[in-house]
Amino acid sequence: MAGGSGRRFWPLSRETYPKQFLTLFGDRSLLQCTYDRARRVVDRRRIWISTRAGLEAVIGEQIPRLDKYRMIVEPVGRDTAPSIALSCARIMREDREAVIMFLPADHFVSPESKFVKTSSRAFSVAEAADCIVTIGIMPTYPSTGYGYIHCDPRRTRKRMLAYFVSSFKEKPDLATAKRYLEEGNYYWNSGIFVAKASVMMKQLQKHSRRIFRLAEELLSSSRSAFQSRLKEAFHRMPKVSLDYAVMEKSTNVVMIPADFEWNDLGSWSSLGQLPNLRKKRNVSIGQALLLNSEGNITYSGRKLAVLIDVNDLVVATAGDAVLVCRKESAQKVKEAVDLLRKRYPSYT
């Protein structure tokens, strides 16, 4: 799933070149890293990329071996529920029995070997049972930036190390996040799902009928009429995440705990949580000179960033814009971009 806008990584992330195309660590973009991981789980000919109109050329540049036919292009962005419904409809036209793993294209995962092992278990559960499998992350601190999955420890698929999900929780305040960690049986919601396409469609039919009906129209349309039907259907799709549309309502979800380290890279401040960076006094991508300063994150591009006597700031420069904010306010960058779209759209 590579159609997001990644507004919280502005000014580096822009509407026509969002977060999933950025190289924030190593020498591969987030999309390329996700594609590489997927190739360790399935043959490359079984990998599809779902995106929105306008991003096809960048995906083609970054993943040149991807068959263009396996690019699922949404006419407009409508969040993850319509994206997943469209993906199911498109793939079921080829294989009614398909089991699909839905991966966000902009996450950090390490090591890949443990991701492969967890994915294999998730596929086994999804193939054996008519349920949606989600992958949960054992929390390491009381995060207020992640949603949570609450599992019922009394109901498990012990042979498969899978737990029945009691509920999905929205991003909590700090006190609630601390309580979740104290009580246990709460996991971070990774946004990774595995299910038979037919099972996902049945859950959409049960909990989000409007999205299901529109996806069913696409599934039953002829190949020649598909594109015209797609444009019409997608403009009628509600903008809603799969969590809201299905996961929070379904009683048919199980969770597998992840063995790997994970970060959704939701904002600039999340870079300080990456394993190879979290112990550093400052995180700097590009050239930076920091004097008597700690806890800062800098992205300087081709420029030199100099910080003096400041702590816990994000300073990011890219092209025609500079961002400066406190790390604790990094989530608000999205709000700033929304305002920029109204006042200074050329900067977004």
**pLDDT for 243-271, tens place per residue?**
999 999 999 999 999 999 999 999 999 99
Residues 253 and 277 in one domain: no
Q: What is the dihedral of CA 197, 199, 201, 207, to 10 degrees?
A: -150
Q: Is residue 2 part of a domain?
A: no
Residue 22: which of 270, 246, 227, 222 has the closest Cα?
Answer: 270
- Count: domains in the chain: 2
**pLDDT tens, position by position, for the chain (348 residues)?**
999 999 999 999 999 999 999 999 889 999 999 999 999 999 999 999 999 999 999 999 999 999 989 999 999 999 999 999 999 999 999 999 999 999 999 999 999 999 999 999 999 999 998 999 999 999 999 998 899 999 987 766 555 578 999 999 999 999 999 999 999 999 999 999 999 999 999 999 999 999 999 999 988 888 888 888 898 888 899 999 999 999 999 999 999 999 999 999 999 999 999 988 888 999 999 999 999 999 999 999 889 999 999 999 999 999 899 999 999 999 999 999 999 999 999 999
**pLDDT for 80-119, tens place per residue?**
999 999 999 999 999 999 999 999 999 999 999 999 999 9
Name the residue type at position 6: G
Q: H or E segment at 183?
A: helix 174-183
Q: What is the dihedral of CA 270, 276, 282, 285, to 10 degrees?
A: -80
Please say whether the beta carbons of 91 and 48 come within 8 A: yes
Query: Distance between CA 152 and CA 100 in Å, rounded?
Result: 25
Residue-level pLDDT at 157? 57
Q: Which two tokens stand for residue 324?
A: 């400066």
Residues 31 and 158 in one domain: yes
Q: Is residue 16 part of a domain?
A: yes
DSSP code, position 254:
E
Backbone angles phi, psi at 37, to 5 degrees: -65, -45
Q: Which pTM does this prediction carry? A: 0.93
Q: Is residue 287 part of a domain?
A: yes
CA distance to 57, 59, 60, per residue, from 242 (Å): 27, 24, 27
Please say whether the beta carbons of 73 and 58 come within 8 A: no
Residue-level pLDDT at 26? 86
Q: What is the dihedral of CA 268, 271, 273, 279, to 10 degrees?
A: -120
Domain extent, residue 313, equals 269-347
Q: Is 155 helix (H, G, I), strand (E, B) or coil?
A: strand
Residue-level pLDDT at 160? 59
Residues 50 and 136 in one domain: yes
First to last CA, the chain: 21
Q: Which residues pair with 294 in a beta bridge?
A: 311
Residue 37: which of 258, 243, 273 has the closest Cα?
Answer: 258
Q: Is residue 192 part of a domain?
A: yes
Q: Is residue 1 part of a domain?
A: no
Residues 309 and 252 in one domain: no
Q: Is residue 54 left, alpha or beta, with left meaning phi > 0 and alpha meaning psi from -120 to 50?
A: left
